[in-house]
Amino acid sequence: MKILDGKVALVTGAAQGIGRAIALRLAREGADIAILDMDNAKMKAVADEVQSLGRKSTTFKADISGRDEVYAAIDHTENALGGFDIMVNNAGIAQVQPIADVTAKEAEQILKVNIEGVLWGIQAAAKKFHDRKQKGKIINAASIAGHDGFPMLGVYSATKFAVRALTQSAAQEYASDGITVNSYSPGIVGTDMWVEIDRRFAEITGAKVGETYKKYVDGIALGRAQTPEDVAAFVAFLAGPDSDYMTGQSPIIDGGIVYR
């Protein structure tokens, strides 16, 4: 028997990168998967991969910064897959910008996606668990930038500190309902997001493309960049029964960059 047999999980930002890896890992552990993102073609590709693993899947196009859209996604998950047990608030965006140059529009965008998106995901998932009279697991995407503030990533870091705060508060508020709330804090992951981060560092600092990424990777104690699958393996632990006595935590999984 697999650890997530009979479970249904919704993963936001699941069309690519870390989200895709999480969706596939949870499927391999036995869960049926709802995929939320903005790109229909990419979502379908991941849904097909889930189905090739022998699990059911469904897709839902939504902007996580819209509260009603997140509630609708969870309703769709329940209706399409016959249950709802695990919420992975993975979707988020990064911005590379000196604090002095951040515009109101840029700040509003990242705050709405990275903070409000997680808030609505926590809120909607907890309500659904309550309505279904069951326990549940809520898992949020933090970052090493939610433990240490990084230069040129000030607002991004602030949003990830906020995710940790929401995780801690929600864990305490929902514990009596049997709902656990935890986060995962990745480091330097080889995804399209880091390609964009590196490109922006090159624009701002004059570094060569690839130089910033290499600098950070060279500082990893385990000697290599993180893969989406590294992150997904830890999320599978948070989604499974071995983490049942864990709540309100945001462990770092970064290969050895930030130490706590």
Residues 30-50 have pLDDT tens digits of 999 999 999 999 999 999 999
> Is residue 214 in some structural domain?
no
Catalytic residue among 156, 174, 213, 216: 156
Q: Which residues pair with 252 in a beta bridge?
A: 185
Three-state DSSP class for 6? coil
> Is residue 29 in some structural domain?
yes
Chain centroid, CA 217 distance in Å? 21
Query: How does DSSP classify residue 191?
Result: S
Share of residues in the chain with pLDDT > 70 (%): 100
E strand spans, 78-192: 86-89, 136-141, 179-186
> Is residue 49 in some structural domain?
yes
> Is residue 31 in some structural domain?
yes
> Is residue 142 in some structural domain?
yes
> What does the alpha-carbon distance between residue 168 and residue 164 come to, in Å, rounded to a whole number?
6
The CATH number for 160's domain is 3.40.50.720
Nearest to 239 by CA among 26, 14, 89: 26
156 is catalytic: yes
Query: How does DSSP classify residue 58?
Result: E
> Is residue 160 in some structural domain?
yes
Residue 193: predicted pLDDT: 87
Would you state the torsion angle of the CA atoms of residues 218, 224, 227, 233, taken in this order, to the nearest 10 degrees? -120
Residues 121-162 have pLDDT tens digits of 999 999 999 999 999 999 999 999 999 999 999 999 999 999
Q: Which residues contact 32 (CB under 8 A, 6 or more apart)?
A: 7, 8, 9, 50, 55, 56, 57, 81, 82, 83
> What does the alpha-carbon distance between residue 135 and residue 130 come to, in Å, rounded to a whole number?
8
Q: What is the mean pLDDT of residues 77-102?
A: 97
> What does the alpha-carbon distance between residue 27 and residue 5 come to, in Å, rounded to a whole number?
9
Query: Tokens at residue 255, please?
Result: 């290969």
Query: Tokens at residue 14, please?
Result: 């699941």
Residues 155-205 have pLDDT tens digits of 999 999 999 999 999 999 999 999 999 999 999 998 888 888 989 999 999
Scored b (16 or more CB within 10 A) or e, 148-158 reads: beeebbbbbbb
Specify the pTM.
0.97
Residue 191: predicted pLDDT: 87
Share of residues in the chain with pLDDT > 90 (%): 95
Query: Tokens at residue 150, please?
Result: 């990084």
Q: Which residues contact 67 (CB under 8 A, 6 or more apart)?
A: 116, 120, 123, 124
Nearest to 12 by CA among 219, 227, 179, 235: 235
Containing structural domain, residue 82: 8-187+228-253
Mean pLDDT of the chain: 97
Nearest to 210 by CA among 228, 234, 227, 190: 190
Number of domains in the chain: 1
> Is residue 155 in some structural domain?
yes
> Is residue 196 in some structural domain?
no
Q: Length of the chain in residues, anyone?
A: 260
Q: Which residues pair with 137 in a beta bridge?
A: 86, 180
